[in-house]
Structure 1
């Protein structure tokens, strides 16, 4: 999705979370014109919903256990990918080959 700054960000599809459950720097809200921006208001309104970046919900990313609900989302995303038959990306080599 396009941001206010003209950049692009990949957001987790179909996931909307109550903003007060997400740290301010990770809250993305959709604006009426279709763009998104970080919702840094603190404290967030109790009924405000936000979205998160896909990298936070991606089961293939090596991230720490940031929030219990996010860990559950990542586990479910991993199961969904397995059901669709998606393969894990190959492991990078331990060392680069000597090419001269």
Structure 2
């Protein structure tokens, strides 16, 4: 009857730290400015469901959700918390936000991702 290996209650899930790192929820926390530590560009910073972790999202950029791969789609909840929708199939017409680490012009070795979403982004930006 379900998963008995992981019974830790949310939000204190033991994998939160690793998952936040995987999703790019590594933004500087307030009161530091919401600037990318790699390129210095100002970004939109939002808290995530991972306690103590914030994510930098591209300002004023929304993309049709089906144009980003699963686990790279961020939506902002009514409470102002950024939520990665993971593998959820987007509804028709749904839009999402783009994490800055996917399109950062100067990623470090720690933040570099193996796919060139930044080069395709101008074609899918819905301003």
Range that drifts further, 44-53 or 56-65: 56-65
Q: Alpha carbon RMSD of aligned pairs, Å?
A: 2.2
Higher helix share: 1
TM-score, normalization: structure 2? 0.49
Q: Which residue of 2 aligns with 1:25?
A: 71
Which runs of 5 or more residues in structure 2 are unaligned? Answer: 1-45
Which runs of 5 or more residues in structure 1 are unaligned? Answer: 74-100
Within-5 A mapping of 1:28-47: 28-47=74-93
Is this contact kept in 2: 1:2–1:36, CA < 8 A? yes
Within-5 A mapping of 1:20-99: 20-61=66-107, 64-66=115-117, 69-70=120-121, 72=122
TM-score, normalization: structure 1? 0.60
Q: Which residue of 2 aligns with 1:3?
A: 48
Q: Look at both structures and tell me which one has the larger radius of gyration over its CA atoms.
A: 1
* Shift of residue 41, structure 1, vs aligned partner: 4.3
Higher strand share: 2
Q: Could you tell me how far apart the structure 2 residues matched to 1:68 and 1:9 are?
A: 21
* Shift of residue 68, structure 1, vs aligned partner: 5.3
Q: Could you tell me how far apart the structure 1 residues matched to 2:80 and 2:73 are?
A: 16
